Amino acid sequence: MSDTRNTGGATSGASSGTTWRNNPSASASAQQAYDPWLQPELFRGVLTKRVFAFLIDLVILSIPIVLAILFITLFGIVTLGLGWFLFWLISPLSVIWALLYYGMSLGGPQGATVGMRMMDIEMRTWTGERPYFVLGAVHAVLYWVSVSFLSPLVLLVGLFNGRRRLLHDIVLGTVFINSNVQPSMVQTTRV
C-alpha cells in the first residue's frame, strides 16, 4: 500500500505489494500500473494542477447554488416571505449536486472533472483502470471528511510520496496522472 518501489522480480499472486483491494492472482505489473520511478512524466506537477483544478471545480459547483439562492430570494419577495421557507433545501441540494458532479465526471469516460480536464490530469485506480461513479462520489466525500476532521494540513501527505497521492487517494486506491502523456509512451518505458 506504500509508494515504495518494488524491486523484487516475483510475478506470482503471493508477491509483496498485494493488498486486500488487489486481485491476488493479478501480475505484479498490473498491481503497479504507475511507477513514479519508471514513469516520472506521469506525476510531474500533478499536485499543483490538482489545486487549480479544485478551484475551477468550486466555481463550477457554486454557480447553480448561487442561482438557486437568487431564485429563492426573488420568489420569497414575490410571495411576501413564504418562498423563503425553501432556503432549507439549499444545503441538501448542494450536497447532492456535488456528489452527482464528482461521481459523473470522475466516473465518466475521461475520469476527470471539468477543472481536471482543463489542467490535463485524470484519476485512475491503483491498477490503471478508469474510475466509476461510486468511486468518484466516495472520493469527494472522503476528501471533505479528511480535510474537515484532520485539517487542511492532511494535504501535505502528497509531498511525501512518489505518486503524489493524498490521504484519501491512498485509502481508495486511486492515483492522479497527467492525461497529456500518451499511454503508449508509458508502456514502452516499462521494464
- For residue 49, being part of any structural domain is answered with no
| Torsion region of 111: left, alpha or beta (phi above 0 gives left; psi -120 to 50 gives alpha) | left
Using H for helix, E for strand and C for coil, what is the string for 72-93?
HHHHHHHCCCHHHHHHHHHHHH
Percentage of residues of the chain with pLDDT beyond 70: 77
- For residue 165, being part of any structural domain is answered with yes
Provide the CB-side half-sphere exposure for 57 (13 A, CA).
Answer: 22
Residues in the chain, overall count = 191
H or E stretch at 121: strand 121-125
pLDDT tens digits, residue range 107-162? Answer: 999 999 999 999 999 999 988 899 999 999 999 999 999 988 888 888 889 888 88
Average pLDDT over residues 45-66: 96
Are 36 and 43 in contact, with CB atoms under 8 Å apart? yes
- For residue 145, being part of any structural domain is answered with yes
- For residue 65, being part of any structural domain is answered with no
- For residue 191, being part of any structural domain is answered with no
Number of independent structural domains in the chain: 1
Average pLDDT, the chain: 83
CA distance 69 to 143: 25
Lowest mean pLDDT across 14-18, 43-47, 102-106, 133-137: 14-18
Q: Which domain holds residue 133?
A: 122-174
- For residue 111, being part of any structural domain is answered with no
- For residue 170, being part of any structural domain is answered with yes
- What is the reported pLDDT for 163? 85
- For residue 75, being part of any structural domain is answered with no
